[in-house]
Structure 1
Amino acid sequence: MDTTLTESAAAPGAAADTANADTPGGPDGGAALYRARRERVLAALRAQGGGVALVPTAPEVMRNRDADYPYRHDSYFYYLTGFTEPEALLVLDANADENQPASILFCRAKNVERETWEGLRFGPDGAREAFGFDAAFPIDDLDAQIPRLIANRPALHYALAASERFDAQVRGWIDAVRAQTRSGVTAPAAAYDLLPLLDDMRLVKDAHELDTMRRAAKISALAHIRAMQTCRPGMREYEIEAELLYTFRKYGAQAPAYGSIVAAGANACVLHYPAGNAVAREGDLILIDAACELNGYAADITRTFPASGRFTSAQREIYDIVLAAQQAAVNATRAGVNFEAPHDAAVRVLAQGLLDTGILDRQRFASVDDVIAERAYARFYMHRTGHWLGMDVHDVGDYRERGAQHAGETPPWRTLRAGMTLTIEPGLYIRAAEDVPERYWDIGIRIEDDAIVTETGCELITRGVPVNADEIESLMQDAQRGA
Structure 2
Amino acid sequence: MRYEPIPSDLFIHNRDKFRRHLKPGGLAVFNANDIMPTNADGTMGFKQQSDLFYLCGIDQEETILLIFPDAKEAKHREILFLRETNEHIAIWEGHKLTKEEARQLSGIQTVYWTHQFANIFNGLVFEAEYLYLNTNEHLRNSSEVQTRDDRFIRYCKEKYPLHKYERLQPIMHRLRAVKSVWEVEQIQKAIDITAKGFRRLLGFVRPGVWEYEVEAELIHEFIRNRSNGFAYTPIIASGVNACVLHYIENNRQCHAGDVLLLDVAAQYANYNADLTRVLPVSGKFTQRQKAIYNAVYRVMLEAKAMLVTGNNWIDYHKEVGKVMESELIGLGLLDKHEVARQDPDNPLYKKYFMHGTSHHLGLDVHDYGSRYHVFEPGMVFTCEPGIYIPEEGIGIRLENDILITENGNIDLMAHIPILAEEIEDLMNSR
Q: Which has the larger radius of gyration?
A: 1
Question: Is 1:36–2:13 an aligned residue pair?
Answer: yes
Q: Secondary structure at the match of 1:197?
A: helix
Distance in structure 1 (CA, Å) of the matches to 2:328 and 2:150: 50
| Corresponding residue of 2:123 | 148
How far did 1:160 drift?
A: 4.6
Is the 8 Å Cα contact of residues 38 and 103 (structure 1) preserved in structure 2?
no
Report the CA distance between 1:420 and its aligned residue.
Answer: 0.3
Moved more, 221-230 or 298-307: 221-230
Write the mapping of 1:103-142 to structure 2, written as runs, cut at 5 A: 103-124=78-99, 126-128=101-103, 130-142=105-117
Aligned to 1:169: 152
Residues 305 and 160 of structure 1, relative CA distance in 2, 3 Å threshold: closer
Match of 1:196 in 2: 170
Who is 1:338 aligned against?
312
The one-letter amino acid paired with 2:417 is: P
Q: Would you say 1:469 and 2:420 are equivalent positions? A: yes
Partner of 2:289: 315
Deviation at 1:44, TM superposition (A): 2.5
Contact 1:333 1:341 in 2 (8 A): no
Alignment of 1:460 with 2:419, yes or no, is no
- What is the distance in 2 between the residues matched to 1:317 and 1:135? 60
Q: Partner residue of 2:140?
A: none
Q: What amino acid sits opposite 2:21 in the alignment?
A: A
- The 3 A distance-change label for structure 1 pair 459 and 372 is farther
Where does the alignment leave 5 or more consecutive residues of structure 1 unmatched? 1-12, 21-27, 179-186, 401-413, 433-440
**Which residue of structure 2 lines up, in the alignment, with residue 379 of structure 1?**
351
Aligned to 1:91: 66
Corresponding residue SS for 1:94: coil
Contact 2:312 2:371 in 1 (8 A): no
CA distance in 1 between counterparts of 2:343 and 2:196 reads 38
Q: What is the aligned length? A: 422
Unaligned runs of 5+ in 2: 138-145
Provide the C-alpha distance between the structure 1 equivalents of 2:327 and 2:105, rounded to a whole number of angstroms.
56
Report which stretch shifted further, 348-357 or 266-275: 348-357
Q: Deviations over 1:175-202 (max 9, x none)?
A: 44x5xxxxxxxx7620000111122111
Q: 1:151 to 1:188 in 2, by over 3 A?
A: farther
Pairwise CA distance, 1:77: 0.4
Residue in 1 that maps onto 2:331: 357
SS at match of 2:410: strand
Distance change in 2, residues 1:418/1:161 (3 Å): closer
SS in 2 for 1:44: coil
3-state SS in 1 of match to 2:76: coil
The CA distance in 2 between the partners of 1:125 and 1:78, in whole Å, is: 17
Corresponding residue SS for 1:226: helix
Q: Deviations over 1:54-81 (max 9, x none)?
A: 0001110112221211111111000011
Shift of 1:364: 3.1
Task: Tell me which residue corresponds to 1:425.
Answer: 384
Please say which of residues 343-352 and 381-390 is displaced more in the overlay.
343-352
Identity across the alignment (%): 31
Q: Which one of the candidate residues 199, 213, 217 is aligned to 1:225?
A: 199
Give distance in 1, aligned partners of 2:58 and 2:148: 22
Task: Verify the 8 A CA contact 2:30 2:149 in the aligned structure 1.
Answer: no
Q: Distance in 2 between matches of 1:285 and 1:164?
A: 41
2:368 corresponds to which residue?
396
User: CA, structure 1 residues 373+171, in 2 after alignment: closer, same or farther (shift >3 Å)?
Assistant: closer
- Cα offset, 1:360, TM superposition: 1.8
Which residue type is aligned with residue 38 of structure 1?
A: R
Equivalent residues in 2 for 1:174-185, closer than 5 Å: 175-176=158-159
Structure 1 partner of 2:232? 258
